[in-house]
A and B are shown apart, each in its own frame.
Chain A
Amino acid sequence: MTMFSSRNWREYPHRYRTEASKFKKSGKTYIPKRLIDPETGDTEQETVRLPETGKVLTYTIIRIAPSQWGDNAPYALAIVEMTDGTRLMAQMTDVAMEDVKVGMEIRLEFRRIQNEGSHGVISYGYKAVPKWF
Protein backbone atom coordinates (compact mmCIF):
# COMPACT_ATOMS: atom_id res chain seq x y z
CA MET A 1 0.00 0.00 0.00
CA THR A 2 2.98 2.32 0.03
CA MET A 3 2.86 5.12 -2.55
CA PHE A 4 -0.86 4.50 -2.90
CA SER A 5 -1.66 8.21 -2.78
CA SER A 6 0.50 8.98 -5.83
CA ARG A 7 -0.94 6.12 -7.87
CA ASN A 8 -4.40 7.22 -6.88
CA TRP A 9 -3.60 10.79 -7.97
CA ARG A 10 -2.34 9.65 -11.39
CA GLU A 11 -5.64 7.94 -12.08
CA TYR A 12 -7.88 10.99 -11.41
CA PRO A 13 -8.59 11.81 -15.08
CA HIS A 14 -9.80 8.24 -15.65
CA ARG A 15 -11.54 7.57 -12.33
CA TYR A 16 -12.95 11.04 -11.55
CA ARG A 17 -13.93 12.26 -15.00
CA THR A 18 -14.06 9.06 -17.13
CA GLU A 19 -11.56 10.58 -19.55
CA ALA A 20 -10.99 8.21 -22.46
CA SER A 21 -9.02 7.97 -25.72
CA LYS A 22 -11.03 8.36 -28.92
CA PHE A 23 -8.96 7.33 -31.95
CA LYS A 24 -9.27 9.24 -35.17
CA LYS A 25 -9.15 6.40 -37.72
CA SER A 26 -11.45 3.86 -36.08
CA GLY A 27 -13.57 6.26 -34.05
CA LYS A 28 -13.21 3.78 -31.17
CA THR A 29 -13.00 4.93 -27.56
CA TYR A 30 -10.99 3.21 -24.83
CA ILE A 31 -10.92 3.69 -21.07
CA PRO A 32 -8.42 3.74 -19.39
CA LYS A 33 -6.62 5.72 -22.08
CA ARG A 34 -4.21 3.98 -24.46
CA LEU A 35 -1.39 5.37 -26.58
CA ILE A 36 -2.12 3.17 -29.62
CA ASP A 37 -5.41 1.89 -31.05
CA PRO A 38 -4.99 -1.92 -30.82
CA GLU A 39 -7.05 -2.42 -34.00
CA THR A 40 -5.46 0.07 -36.37
CA GLY A 41 -2.16 1.07 -34.75
CA ASP A 42 -3.39 4.65 -34.92
CA THR A 43 -1.88 7.09 -32.44
CA GLU A 44 -3.98 10.13 -33.33
CA GLN A 45 -6.58 10.57 -30.61
CA GLU A 46 -8.64 13.05 -28.68
CA THR A 47 -9.63 12.95 -25.03
CA VAL A 48 -13.36 12.52 -24.46
CA ARG A 49 -15.52 12.08 -21.37
CA LEU A 50 -17.87 9.13 -21.39
CA PRO A 51 -21.65 9.44 -21.23
CA GLU A 52 -23.13 8.70 -17.78
CA THR A 53 -25.37 5.81 -18.72
CA GLY A 54 -25.07 2.40 -20.34
CA LYS A 55 -25.99 -1.25 -19.87
CA VAL A 56 -24.52 -4.40 -18.31
CA LEU A 57 -22.93 -6.72 -20.90
CA THR A 58 -21.82 -9.33 -18.40
CA TYR A 59 -20.99 -9.59 -14.73
CA THR A 60 -19.60 -11.78 -12.00
CA ILE A 61 -20.47 -11.83 -8.35
CA ILE A 62 -17.57 -11.55 -5.92
CA ARG A 63 -18.27 -13.40 -2.69
CA ILE A 64 -14.70 -13.79 -1.41
CA ALA A 65 -13.34 -10.29 -1.87
CA PRO A 66 -9.85 -8.80 -1.60
CA SER A 67 -9.31 -7.36 1.88
CA GLN A 68 -10.15 -3.74 0.98
CA TRP A 69 -13.62 -4.76 -0.27
CA GLY A 70 -14.26 -7.60 2.20
CA ASP A 71 -17.01 -5.71 4.00
CA ASN A 72 -18.80 -5.03 0.70
CA ALA A 73 -19.15 -8.68 -0.36
CA PRO A 74 -21.09 -9.97 -2.09
CA TYR A 75 -20.87 -7.40 -4.87
CA ALA A 76 -21.07 -7.51 -8.64
CA LEU A 77 -18.25 -6.60 -10.96
CA ALA A 78 -19.65 -5.78 -14.37
CA ILE A 79 -18.48 -5.09 -17.88
CA VAL A 80 -20.74 -2.31 -19.04
CA GLU A 81 -21.25 -0.71 -22.43
CA MET A 82 -21.88 3.00 -22.26
CA THR A 83 -24.33 4.62 -24.67
CA ASP A 84 -21.44 5.69 -26.93
CA GLY A 85 -20.34 2.04 -27.24
CA THR A 86 -17.30 2.26 -24.93
CA ARG A 87 -16.86 -0.72 -22.65
CA LEU A 88 -15.43 -0.58 -19.17
CA MET A 89 -15.34 -2.60 -15.97
CA ALA A 90 -17.02 -1.22 -12.88
CA GLN A 91 -18.06 -2.35 -9.45
CA MET A 92 -21.82 -2.24 -8.98
CA THR A 93 -23.37 -0.65 -5.92
CA ASP A 94 -26.84 0.15 -4.51
CA VAL A 95 -28.15 -3.10 -5.98
CA ALA A 96 -29.18 -6.50 -4.54
CA MET A 97 -27.33 -9.42 -6.16
CA GLU A 98 -30.60 -11.02 -7.31
CA ASP A 99 -31.44 -7.83 -9.24
CA VAL A 100 -28.22 -7.77 -11.29
CA LYS A 101 -29.10 -8.80 -14.87
CA VAL A 102 -27.36 -8.82 -18.23
CA GLY A 103 -28.84 -5.95 -20.23
CA MET A 104 -29.87 -3.88 -17.20
CA GLU A 105 -29.44 -0.14 -17.61
CA ILE A 106 -26.90 1.55 -15.37
CA ARG A 107 -25.65 4.99 -14.49
CA LEU A 108 -22.10 5.76 -13.36
CA GLU A 109 -21.98 7.52 -10.00
CA PHE A 110 -19.09 9.04 -8.12
CA ARG A 111 -18.37 6.85 -5.07
CA ARG A 112 -15.66 5.85 -2.64
CA ILE A 113 -13.68 3.01 -4.19
CA GLN A 114 -11.40 2.12 -1.29
CA ASN A 115 -9.88 3.51 1.88
CA GLU A 116 -6.29 3.04 2.89
CA GLY A 117 -7.43 2.07 6.39
CA SER A 118 -8.76 4.82 8.65
CA HIS A 119 -5.51 6.81 8.37
CA GLY A 120 -4.63 6.75 4.65
CA VAL A 121 -6.05 8.35 1.54
CA ILE A 122 -9.57 7.72 0.35
CA SER A 123 -9.75 6.85 -3.34
CA TYR A 124 -12.80 7.89 -5.32
CA GLY A 125 -14.08 6.96 -8.73
CA TYR A 126 -17.04 5.62 -10.68
CA LYS A 127 -19.30 2.73 -9.76
CA ALA A 128 -22.36 1.53 -11.63
CA VAL A 129 -25.81 1.88 -10.05
CA PRO A 130 -29.13 0.78 -11.57
CA LYS A 131 -30.52 3.53 -13.82
CA TRP A 132 -33.94 4.35 -12.43
CA PHE A 133 -34.61 7.86 -13.72
Chain B
Amino acid sequence: MAAGIVGYGAHLPRHRITVEEIAKVWGADAPSYKKGLMLREKSVPPPDMDTITLSVEAAKRALIRSGGVDAADIGAIYIGSESHPYAVKPSGTTVAEAIGATPDIHCADFEFACKAGSEAMYVALSHVKAGEMKYALAIAADTSQGAPSDALEFSAAAGAGAFIMGTDNLVAEIEHTHSYMTDMPDFWRREHEFYPQHGGRFTGEEAYFAHTKGASNAILKKSGMKPSDFAYAIFHQPNGKFPQRVAFELGFTQEQIDPGWLAPTLGNTYSGASPIGLTATLDVAKPGDMVFMCSYGSGAGSDAFIWKVTNRIDEVRDLTVRTQKLLEENLTYIDYGTYAKFRHKIIKNA
Protein backbone atom coordinates (compact mmCIF):
# COMPACT_ATOMS: atom_id res chain seq x y z
CA MET B 1 0.00 0.00 0.00
CA ALA B 2 1.24 3.49 -0.80
CA ALA B 3 2.17 5.40 2.34
CA GLY B 4 3.81 8.71 3.01
CA ILE B 5 3.37 12.31 4.09
CA VAL B 6 -0.16 13.74 4.06
CA GLY B 7 0.74 17.09 5.63
CA TYR B 8 3.92 18.76 6.87
CA GLY B 9 4.88 21.89 8.78
CA ALA B 10 7.77 23.58 10.54
CA HIS B 11 8.31 26.14 13.25
CA LEU B 12 11.42 28.14 14.15
CA PRO B 13 12.14 30.77 16.81
CA ARG B 14 12.58 34.33 15.48
CA HIS B 15 15.68 35.04 17.58
CA ARG B 16 19.19 34.65 16.17
CA ILE B 17 22.71 35.02 17.54
CA THR B 18 25.76 35.38 15.30
CA VAL B 19 29.01 33.45 15.52
CA GLU B 20 30.80 36.80 16.10
CA GLU B 21 28.66 37.56 19.15
CA ILE B 22 29.49 34.21 20.79
CA ALA B 23 33.15 34.31 19.74
CA LYS B 24 33.80 37.70 21.32
CA VAL B 25 32.75 36.44 24.76
CA TRP B 26 35.12 33.47 24.67
CA GLY B 27 38.04 35.03 22.81
CA ALA B 28 37.45 32.66 19.90
CA ASP B 29 38.38 33.51 16.33
CA ALA B 30 35.04 34.11 14.61
CA PRO B 31 36.29 33.91 10.99
CA SER B 32 37.91 30.52 11.58
CA TYR B 33 34.76 29.17 13.29
CA LYS B 34 32.59 30.51 10.47
CA LYS B 35 34.82 28.92 7.91
CA GLY B 36 35.37 25.68 9.84
CA LEU B 37 31.68 25.15 10.63
CA MET B 38 30.39 26.90 7.50
CA LEU B 39 27.84 28.62 9.73
CA ARG B 40 27.08 32.30 10.30
CA GLU B 41 24.33 32.36 12.93
CA LYS B 42 21.86 30.12 14.75
CA SER B 43 18.30 30.26 16.06
CA VAL B 44 17.70 30.77 19.78
CA PRO B 45 14.47 29.85 21.57
CA PRO B 46 13.12 32.47 24.00
CA PRO B 47 12.33 31.29 27.56
CA ASP B 48 8.64 30.64 26.75
CA MET B 49 9.47 28.31 23.86
CA ASP B 50 10.51 24.67 24.23
CA THR B 51 10.31 21.35 22.37
CA ILE B 52 6.60 21.03 23.22
CA THR B 53 5.62 24.53 22.02
CA LEU B 54 7.68 24.22 18.82
CA SER B 55 6.04 20.82 18.22
CA VAL B 56 2.51 22.17 18.67
CA GLU B 57 3.02 24.97 16.13
CA ALA B 58 4.68 22.65 13.59
CA ALA B 59 1.88 20.07 14.08
CA LYS B 60 -0.81 22.71 13.51
CA ARG B 61 0.84 23.64 10.21
CA ALA B 62 1.01 19.97 9.22
CA LEU B 63 -2.73 19.74 9.90
CA ILE B 64 -3.35 22.86 7.76
CA ARG B 65 -1.47 21.21 4.88
CA SER B 66 -3.18 17.83 5.39
CA GLY B 67 -6.33 18.65 3.43
CA GLY B 68 -8.67 18.40 6.38
CA VAL B 69 -7.35 15.54 8.52
CA ASP B 70 -9.35 15.52 11.75
CA ALA B 71 -6.85 15.52 14.65
CA ALA B 72 -9.08 12.96 16.37
CA ASP B 73 -8.25 10.49 13.55
CA ILE B 74 -4.52 10.62 14.36
CA GLY B 75 -3.67 7.28 15.94
CA ALA B 76 -0.19 8.06 17.23
CA ILE B 77 2.03 11.01 18.06
CA TYR B 78 5.76 10.40 18.30
CA ILE B 79 8.10 13.24 19.20
CA GLY B 80 11.81 12.78 18.67
CA SER B 81 13.99 15.13 20.69
CA GLU B 82 16.89 15.26 23.08
CA SER B 83 15.38 18.25 24.85
CA HIS B 84 12.02 16.99 26.08
CA PRO B 85 11.01 19.56 28.74
CA TYR B 86 10.40 16.93 31.42
CA ALA B 87 12.74 14.12 32.45
CA VAL B 88 9.61 12.15 33.37
CA LYS B 89 6.31 13.12 31.70
CA PRO B 90 5.71 12.77 27.99
CA SER B 91 5.86 15.65 25.51
CA GLY B 92 3.49 13.81 23.19
CA THR B 93 0.44 13.97 25.45
CA THR B 94 0.69 17.78 25.72
CA VAL B 95 0.92 18.10 21.95
CA ALA B 96 -1.97 15.64 21.51
CA GLU B 97 -4.10 17.64 23.97
CA ALA B 98 -3.25 20.93 22.28
CA ILE B 99 -4.19 19.82 18.77
CA GLY B 100 -7.29 17.90 19.92
CA ALA B 101 -6.02 14.36 19.30
CA THR B 102 -6.69 12.86 22.76
CA PRO B 103 -7.72 10.39 24.15
CA ASP B 104 -7.79 7.55 21.57
CA ILE B 105 -4.14 7.78 20.66
CA HIS B 106 -0.73 6.21 21.24
CA CYS B 107 2.03 8.61 22.38
CA ALA B 108 5.73 8.02 22.84
CA ASP B 109 8.73 10.30 23.14
CA PHE B 110 11.77 9.15 21.20
CA GLU B 111 15.41 9.82 22.01
CA PHE B 112 18.47 9.05 19.90
CA ALA B 113 20.70 12.14 19.92
CA CYS B 114 20.03 13.94 16.62
CA LYS B 115 18.24 11.00 15.01
CA ALA B 116 15.18 10.90 17.27
CA GLY B 117 13.06 12.84 14.77
CA SER B 118 13.68 10.59 11.79
CA GLU B 119 13.06 7.52 13.94
CA ALA B 120 9.67 8.99 14.90
CA MET B 121 9.01 9.39 11.15
CA TYR B 122 10.09 5.81 10.47
CA VAL B 123 7.79 4.34 13.14
CA ALA B 124 4.84 6.55 12.14
CA LEU B 125 5.25 5.43 8.52
CA SER B 126 5.37 1.77 9.59
CA HIS B 127 2.08 2.09 11.48
CA VAL B 128 0.16 3.50 8.54
CA LYS B 129 1.81 1.09 6.10
CA ALA B 130 0.72 -1.81 8.30
CA GLY B 131 -2.83 -0.47 8.41
CA GLU B 132 -2.72 -0.13 12.21
CA MET B 133 -4.15 3.38 12.03
CA LYS B 134 -5.31 5.94 9.50
CA TYR B 135 -2.83 8.67 10.42
CA ALA B 136 0.29 8.93 12.58
CA LEU B 137 2.01 12.19 13.47
CA ALA B 138 5.80 12.29 13.68
CA ILE B 139 7.50 15.37 15.10
CA ALA B 140 11.20 16.21 15.14
CA ALA B 141 11.98 19.03 17.56
CA ASP B 142 14.81 20.31 19.71
CA THR B 143 15.99 23.24 21.75
CA SER B 144 19.56 22.00 21.64
CA GLN B 145 22.11 22.43 24.40
CA GLY B 146 25.74 23.28 23.85
CA ALA B 147 28.12 23.94 26.75
CA PRO B 148 29.31 27.55 27.04
CA SER B 149 32.57 28.09 25.08
CA ASP B 150 32.34 24.61 23.52
CA ALA B 151 32.36 24.35 19.72
CA LEU B 152 28.74 23.15 20.01
CA GLU B 153 27.66 26.49 21.44
CA PHE B 154 28.18 28.09 18.02
CA SER B 155 25.73 25.70 16.39
CA ALA B 156 23.20 24.31 18.94
CA ALA B 157 19.88 25.74 17.74
CA ALA B 158 16.11 25.21 17.93
CA GLY B 159 13.30 24.27 15.59
CA ALA B 160 10.67 21.66 14.75
CA GLY B 161 9.31 19.78 11.77
CA ALA B 162 6.05 17.78 11.82
CA PHE B 163 4.71 15.16 9.41
CA ILE B 164 1.30 13.53 9.30
CA MET B 165 1.78 10.09 7.77
CA GLY B 166 -1.06 8.30 6.03
CA THR B 167 -1.97 6.22 3.01
CA ASP B 168 -4.11 8.51 0.87
CA ASN B 169 -4.07 12.14 -0.23
CA LEU B 170 -0.25 12.09 -0.06
CA VAL B 171 2.09 14.99 -0.80
CA ALA B 172 5.12 12.68 -0.80
CA GLU B 173 5.08 8.92 -1.06
CA ILE B 174 7.71 6.83 0.73
CA GLU B 175 9.50 4.62 -1.80
CA HIS B 176 12.28 3.14 0.34
CA THR B 177 13.76 3.33 3.82
CA HIS B 178 17.00 2.01 5.24
CA SER B 179 18.49 2.31 8.71
CA TYR B 180 22.13 1.77 9.60
CA MET B 181 23.50 1.76 13.14
CA THR B 182 26.41 0.73 15.31
CA ASP B 183 27.50 1.41 18.90
CA MET B 184 29.50 4.63 18.56
CA PRO B 185 30.69 6.74 21.53
CA ASP B 186 30.95 10.04 19.63
CA PHE B 187 28.49 12.22 21.62
CA TRP B 188 26.52 11.65 24.81
CA ARG B 189 24.99 13.22 27.88
CA ARG B 190 24.84 11.41 31.21
CA GLU B 191 21.92 11.80 33.59
CA HIS B 192 21.87 15.08 35.59
CA GLU B 193 24.44 16.72 33.31
CA PHE B 194 23.43 20.04 31.74
CA TYR B 195 25.40 19.71 28.53
CA PRO B 196 26.42 16.90 26.20
CA GLN B 197 30.01 15.70 25.80
CA HIS B 198 31.52 14.83 22.45
CA GLY B 199 34.57 13.25 20.96
CA GLY B 200 35.75 16.35 19.07
CA ARG B 201 37.24 15.29 15.75
CA PHE B 202 36.15 11.71 16.47
CA THR B 203 32.56 12.82 15.68
CA GLY B 204 33.50 13.13 12.00
CA GLU B 205 34.98 10.31 9.95
CA GLU B 206 34.04 7.20 11.97
CA ALA B 207 30.78 8.66 13.22
CA TYR B 208 28.85 11.15 11.02
CA PHE B 209 30.43 10.23 7.70
CA ALA B 210 30.59 6.43 8.18
CA HIS B 211 26.93 6.13 9.21
CA THR B 212 25.53 8.69 6.78
CA LYS B 213 27.36 6.97 3.94
CA GLY B 214 26.44 3.52 5.26
CA ALA B 215 22.72 4.27 5.18
CA SER B 216 22.90 6.30 1.96
CA ASN B 217 24.84 3.71 -0.02
CA ALA B 218 22.59 0.91 1.24
CA ILE B 219 19.36 2.69 0.27
CA LEU B 220 20.77 3.61 -3.14
CA LYS B 221 21.68 -0.05 -3.71
CA LYS B 222 18.28 -1.23 -2.43
CA SER B 223 16.41 1.19 -4.70
CA GLY B 224 18.69 0.77 -7.71
CA MET B 225 18.91 4.57 -7.92
CA LYS B 226 21.87 6.90 -8.29
CA PRO B 227 22.37 10.45 -6.95
CA SER B 228 21.54 12.02 -10.32
CA ASP B 229 18.05 10.44 -10.18
CA PHE B 230 17.09 12.83 -7.38
CA ALA B 231 15.86 16.40 -7.60
CA TYR B 232 16.90 17.10 -4.00
CA ALA B 233 18.81 15.62 -1.08
CA ILE B 234 18.83 16.44 2.62
CA PHE B 235 21.42 15.29 5.14
CA HIS B 236 21.78 15.76 8.88
CA GLN B 237 23.45 19.12 9.43
CA PRO B 238 25.45 19.51 12.66
CA ASN B 239 27.05 22.47 10.84
CA GLY B 240 27.09 23.70 7.26
CA LYS B 241 30.18 21.76 6.27
CA PHE B 242 29.41 18.10 7.06
CA PRO B 243 26.21 17.76 4.96
CA GLN B 244 27.87 19.50 2.02
CA ARG B 245 30.95 17.27 2.20
CA VAL B 246 28.99 14.03 2.54
CA ALA B 247 26.67 15.07 -0.29
CA PHE B 248 29.61 15.74 -2.62
CA GLU B 249 31.39 12.51 -1.63
CA LEU B 250 28.22 10.52 -2.39
CA GLY B 251 27.85 12.24 -5.76
CA PHE B 252 25.12 14.81 -5.02
CA THR B 253 25.46 18.44 -6.09
CA GLN B 254 25.08 21.82 -4.37
CA GLU B 255 21.87 22.42 -6.36
CA GLN B 256 20.37 19.22 -4.98
CA ILE B 257 21.10 20.07 -1.33
CA ASP B 258 20.43 23.82 -1.48
CA PRO B 259 16.74 24.05 -0.41
CA GLY B 260 17.22 21.76 2.61
CA TRP B 261 20.72 22.98 3.58
CA LEU B 262 19.60 25.28 6.40
CA ALA B 263 22.45 24.97 8.93
CA PRO B 264 24.51 27.98 7.66
CA THR B 265 21.85 30.37 9.01
CA LEU B 266 19.75 28.11 11.26
CA GLY B 267 22.44 26.18 13.13
CA ASN B 268 22.09 22.58 14.24
CA THR B 269 18.53 21.84 15.28
CA TYR B 270 19.61 18.32 16.37
CA SER B 271 16.57 16.02 15.97
CA GLY B 272 14.94 18.69 13.82
CA ALA B 273 17.79 19.08 11.33
CA SER B 274 17.08 16.83 8.33
CA PRO B 275 13.28 16.79 8.96
CA ILE B 276 13.11 20.63 8.88
CA GLY B 277 15.34 20.45 5.79
CA LEU B 278 12.71 18.14 4.26
CA THR B 279 9.93 20.69 4.95
CA ALA B 280 11.96 23.41 3.21
CA THR B 281 12.61 21.05 0.28
CA LEU B 282 8.93 20.05 -0.08
CA ASP B 283 8.14 23.79 -0.12
CA VAL B 284 9.94 24.08 -3.49
CA ALA B 285 9.66 20.56 -4.93
CA LYS B 286 7.66 19.78 -8.06
CA PRO B 287 5.27 16.89 -8.61
CA GLY B 288 7.23 13.76 -9.54
CA ASP B 289 10.49 14.94 -7.91
CA MET B 290 12.47 12.27 -6.08
CA VAL B 291 13.84 13.44 -2.72
CA PHE B 292 16.67 11.75 -0.83
CA MET B 293 16.93 12.20 2.96
CA CYS B 294 19.42 10.82 5.46
CA SER B 295 19.53 11.67 9.17
CA TYR B 296 22.34 11.06 11.61
CA GLY B 297 22.23 10.64 15.36
CA SER B 298 25.23 10.06 17.56
CA GLY B 299 25.47 6.83 19.37
CA ALA B 300 25.08 6.19 16.35
CA GLY B 301 22.93 5.68 13.33
CA SER B 302 21.30 7.05 10.21
CA ASP B 303 17.79 6.65 8.81
CA ALA B 304 17.57 7.10 5.05
CA PHE B 305 14.35 7.77 3.14
CA ILE B 306 13.49 8.07 -0.54
CA TRP B 307 10.38 10.19 -1.17
CA LYS B 308 8.43 10.77 -4.35
CA VAL B 309 6.60 14.10 -4.44
CA THR B 310 2.99 13.97 -5.68
CA ASN B 311 0.77 16.41 -7.58
CA ARG B 312 -0.85 17.50 -4.32
CA ILE B 313 2.27 19.49 -3.31
CA ASP B 314 1.21 22.43 -5.50
CA GLU B 315 -2.10 22.71 -3.64
CA VAL B 316 -0.72 22.56 -0.10
CA ARG B 317 2.68 24.27 0.05
CA ASP B 318 1.29 27.79 0.45
CA LEU B 319 -1.59 26.95 2.78
CA THR B 320 0.72 28.10 5.58
CA VAL B 321 4.13 29.71 6.00
CA ARG B 322 7.10 28.27 4.11
CA THR B 323 10.15 27.17 6.11
CA GLN B 324 12.52 29.46 4.21
CA LYS B 325 10.36 32.43 5.23
CA LEU B 326 10.60 31.38 8.90
CA LEU B 327 14.35 31.20 8.42
CA GLU B 328 14.86 34.54 6.71
CA GLU B 329 12.14 36.97 7.80
CA ASN B 330 10.94 38.60 11.02
CA LEU B 331 14.31 38.02 12.72
CA THR B 332 15.55 39.54 15.98
CA TYR B 333 19.30 39.46 16.61
CA ILE B 334 20.24 39.18 20.28
CA ASP B 335 23.46 39.78 22.22
CA TYR B 336 25.22 37.15 24.31
CA GLY B 337 23.73 38.47 27.56
CA THR B 338 20.18 38.02 26.28
CA TYR B 339 21.13 34.62 24.88
CA ALA B 340 22.58 33.57 28.26
CA LYS B 341 19.35 34.67 29.96
CA PHE B 342 17.14 32.93 27.37
CA ARG B 343 19.07 29.68 27.67
CA HIS B 344 19.23 29.74 31.48
CA LYS B 345 23.00 30.02 31.53
CA ILE B 346 22.88 32.59 34.35
CA ILE B 347 22.84 31.19 37.88
CA LYS B 348 20.11 32.62 40.09
CA ASN B 349 19.33 31.56 43.63
CA ALA B 350 15.63 31.22 43.02
Contacts and interface: CB of A to CB of B under 8 A. Distances in A.
Contacts of A93: 46, 48
A94 B321 CA distance: 17
Interface stretch (B26-34, B51-59, B106-114): B51-59
B100 A17 contact: yes
A111 B49 contact: yes
A71 to B, nearest CB: 7
Contacts of A71: 47, 341
Contacts of B330: 130, 132-133
Interface residues of A, number: 19
A16 interface: yes
Contacts of B97: 12, 16-17
Contacts of B86: 122
Interface in A83-133: 93-94, 109-113, 122, 124, 127, 130, 132-133
A110 B47 contact: no
Contacts of B85: 122
B47 A113 contact: no
Interface string B275-306: 00000000000000000000000000000000
A110 B325 contact: no
A122 B48 CA distance: 10
Chain B: interface residue count, which band?
A: 20 to 34
Contacts of B94: 16, 124
Contacts of A49: 100
Contacts of A12: 97
B329 interface: yes
B142 interface: no
Contacts of A26: none
Nearest to A121: B89
A72 interface: yes
Contacts of A133: 321, 325, 329-330
Interface of B: 14, 46-50, 52-53, 56-57, 85-86, 94, 97-98, 100, 321, 325, 329-330, 332, 341
Interface of A: 12, 16-17, 49, 71-72, 93-94, 109-113, 122, 124, 127, 130, 132-133
Nearest 4 Cβ contacts at the A-B interface: A110-B56, A111-B48, A112-B48, A16-B98
26 contacts: A16-B97, A16-B98, A17-B97, A17-B98, A71-B47, A93-B46, A94-B332, A109-B53, A110-B52, A111-B49, A111-B53, A112-B47, A112-B53, A113-B48, A122-B50, A122-B52, A122-B85, A122-B86, A124-B52, A124-B94, A124-B98, A127-B48, A130-B330, A132-B329, A133-B325, A133-B329
